[in-house]
Amino acid sequence: MMAVYCGKIPPVDDPSEGSTVLPKALVVSAKVDGRSVGDRETIERVSNKPTITLEFSREVKADEASLSSVQFEGGPLTVTAHPADATKLVFTSESTLSDGARYKFSISAGECFGVKLKSDYTFWLSTKYVIDDQTDKFPRITDDELFEKVQKAAFSYFWDYGHPVSGLARERLGSGDTVTSGGSGFGLMAIPVGIERGWISRTEGAQRLLKIVDFLGSAERFHGAWPHWLNGSTGKAIAFSTNDNGADLVETAFLVEGLLAVRAYFDGSDALESEIRTKITALWEGVEWTWFQQGGQKVLYWHWSPDKGWAMNMKITSWNEAQIVYILAASSPTYPITKEVYDQGWNGSNGYNYRTPLFFVHYSFLGLDPRKLKDAYASYWEQNCQHARTNYEYCVGSDKGYGYSAECWGLTASDYYNGYTASSPSNDTGTVAPTAALASFPYMPEEAMAAMNYFYYKLGNKLWGTYGFYDSFALAKNWFASSYIAIDEGPIVVMMENYRTGLIWDSFMKDRDVQAGLTKLGFTWK
């Protein structure tokens, strides 16, 4: 074996006379710690003393290395012949690499290892993030106590951090006056949870709810639909993007889902709860669902703008988080769509993709109870459970070096180290969002509990804050978010309660308008 120079290229001696012509070759493959990496690719989560194996298109000689041919930013490498294959060389790092760091490896075209390489081969490797230690970061408590602690912390995002004027949910931590309609719908469903858990009184919950519905009644709407974002002080629409400055029907549906759930929950005969129900009914009946068929088409459209019109031109079709839109549109007592719009527009017969983000089985099903729900297209309990299972098994079986395991899993939309993305088995950035596993408690309780314990005890010193678990993390990047986002906090509170008691499912499903809509669309749920 011999050491290979890795660093600044030294002067190259003049070729000696009478040198032989070397056979030409290519690097045909590379592996780091036994995992393949292609030319110009990056391999994540490798060991701190990696072994790199290069395969060439012909036999090579480890003892005929050119000092300038191989460079590695991690320091010197030792090269040896492969014990069983003369076309392979094995490079071993002589230095211990830093955790969570990225290094470049390259082998240049030219004479090297007894051949003349016809082209370069370059890749990057990132070392794994190693948790400082495997000790618990917090004292052990019972699973029930941890369940309550996590759920209550997420609830406090809506209760303690709710906008002081409107009571609605801020889009994210630090978003000031920007409140979110869909995330607020999730926050509405958290209020009954807080009451039933004893974190707030029923009167406190009702008073907060009245403030919210009064604000929603005066806020800017477009054919009865709310925008994605509102100013929590003035009620004016805040543009989500250039052409998305008006109605957002999907976010409106999430808000209405919450409104109908709390309308059913606050069923008292006193003046306060009666007023709440009356005002929610007016908000609900004011949404012009049929307007969003864009001229009577057999499909619903996501956006409409008062000055851009239908510029977004985005149809709401399956499968995604928006099935609740069609169910509510069919349930409307004032602007109902027909079954034909559901069948042709949503078109559940398109087939289901289980490798999509987990919020697909969370957002619509915070209120909509999937346990016995069936229609012509699916048994929703079986479908949702399989979706969660697919996400989990992908993480457990992943060989990408992201740090996933049976305790560290959950891919969905969240912040990540380069911004925001909808993570899934089909779009994997190595980012885990706690909401993905925790909101899957109804579907996979044991696996969700294992994840909760891991997030809290093993990562809690980096992942736990004022409102519970931060939005996301990527172990291979040594990156932890410092953010909280309403649409990720809400499913934690609500789906954990649905697993525990079915509270929000039971409230939403007893709504007579919803039952009428489900019946119209051919659903069964009992």
Residue 1 has pLDDT above 50, yes or no: no
Does 229 share its domain with 362?
yes
Amino acid at 243: N
Residue 24's φ and ψ, nearest 5 degrees, are -85, 150
Query: Six-digit token pair at 95?
Result: 């230095």
Average pLDDT rounded to a whole number, residues 103-113: 91
Q: What is the mean pLDDT of the chain?
A: 93
Q: What residues have CB less than 8 Å from 308, skipping those under 6 apart? A: 243, 245, 246
Supply the pLDDT for residue 20: 67
Cα 273 from Cα 59, distance rounded (Å)? 82
List, for residues 21-42, the tens digit of each pLDDT value: 889 999 999 999 999 999 999 8
pLDDT-derived band at 164 (thresholds 50, 70, 90) equals very high
Q: What angle do CA 260, 264, 267 make, to 5 degrees?
A: 140
* 358 and 439 belong to one structural domain: yes
Residue 377's nearest CA partner among 345, 350, 401 is 350
**Predicted TM-score of the model (pTM):** 0.81
pLDDT score for 28:
94
Closest by Cα among 318, 330, 320, 414 to 364: 320
Residue 198 tokens read as: 């004893």
Residue 46 has pLDDT above 90, yes or no: no
Please check the confidence at residue 214 and state whether its pLDDT lies above 60: yes
Residue 282 has a CB neighbour count (10 Å cut-off) of 12
Pairs from 264-270 (Cβ < 8 Å, separation ≥ 24): 264/507, 264/508, 264/510, 264/511, 265/192, 265/503, 265/507, 266/206, 266/209
- Examine the domain organization and report whether 47 and 150 are in the same domain: no
**CATH number for 76:** 2.60.40.3710
Q: What is the pLDDT of residue 7?
A: 36
Q: Which residues contact 196 (CB under 8 A, 6 or more apart)?
A: 497, 501, 503
Closest among 487, 439, 417, 422 to 175, alpha carbons compared: 487
Are the CB atoms for 177 and 169 separated by under 8 Å? no
Are 120 and 227 in a shared domain?
no
> What residues make up the domain containing 309?
143-520
178 shares a domain with 109 = no
Q: Tokens 């991690």, residue?
A: 74
Distances (CA, A) of 44 to 123, 186, 326, 430: 11, 36, 41, 9
pLDDT of 495 strictly over 50: yes
What pLDDT digit, counting tens, does each position of 288-317 carry? 999 999 999 999 999 999 999 999 999 999
Distant-in-sequence, close-in-space partners of 85: CB < 8 Å, separation ≥ 6 = 55
As a residue count, the chain comes to 526
Q: Domain for residue 137, yes or no?
A: no
- For residue 199, cis peptide bond before it (omega within 30 degrees of 0): no
Residues 397 and 428 sit within 8 Å (Cβ to Cβ) = no
pLDDT value of position 21 = 84
* Within a domain: 526: no
My answer on whether 57 and 173 are in the same domain is no
- 514 inside domain: yes
Helix axes 271-285, 249-265, angle to 10 degrees: 150
Q: Residues 116, 151: one domain?
A: no
Read off the pLDDT band of 44 (50, 70, 90). Answer: confident
Cα–Cα distance, 226 to 258 (Å, whole number): 14
What's the CA dihedral at 416, 420, 425, 429 to 10 degrees? -40
- In this predicted structure, the answer to whether residue 147 has a pLDDT above a threshold of 70 is yes
Gap between the Cα atoms of 348 and 67, Å rounded = 62
Written as six digits, the tokens of 167 are 């009571």
Instruction: Answer yes or no: is 187 within a domain.
Output: yes
Check whether residue 165 and residue 80 sit in a common domain: no
Structure confidence by residue, pLDDT tens digits, 333-371: 999 999 999 999 998 888 999 999 999 999 999 999 999
Q: Name the residue with higher pLDDT: 476 or 239.
A: 239
Burial class (CB in 10 A: 0-12, 13-18, 19+), 160: exposed
Give the end of a domain, one of 92, 127, 162: 127
Please check whether residue 525 lies inside any domain of the structure: no
**Amino acid identity at 261:** A
Final residue in a domain of this structure, among 96, 127, 158: 127
Q: What's the pLDDT at 503?
A: 98
One-character DSSP codes across 205-263: HHHHHHHHHHHHHHS--BTTBPPSEEETTT--EE-SSSS-SSEEHHHHHHHHHHHHHHH
Residue 516 lies in a domain: yes
Rounded to the nearest 5°, which phi and psi values hold at 302? -75, -45
Question: Is residue 114 located within the same domain as residue 64?
Answer: yes
Considering the domain architecture, whether residues 97 and 147 belong to the same structural domain is answered as: no
pLDDT of res. 132: 55
Domain boundary among 127, 155, 180: 127
pLDDT band at 167 (very low <50, low <70, confident <90, very high): very high
The CATH number that applies at residue 240 is: 1.50.10.140
- Kindly state the percentage of the chain with pLDDT values over 90: 85
Residue 285: strand, helix, or coil: helix
pLDDT at 98: 83
Q: Considering its fold, how many domains does the chain have in total?
A: 2
Residue 202 pLDDT > 90 = yes
Rounded Cα gap, residues 440 and 496, in angstroms? 8
Residues 207, 69 share a domain: no
Structure tokens at 323: 């099935």
Task: Assess if residue 493 is contained within a domain.
Answer: yes
d(Cα 117, Cα 69) in Å, to the nearest integer?
A: 10
Query: Is 221 domain-assigned?
Result: yes
Q: Token pair of 235, please?
A: 């009620």
Does residue 72 sit in the same domain as residue 187? no
pLDDT tens digits, 452-465: 999 999 999 999 99
What's the CA angle centered on 385, arms 431 and 416, to 5 degrees?
10
**Cα–Cα distance measured from residue 427 to residue 202, given in angstroms and rounded to the nearest whole number:** 42
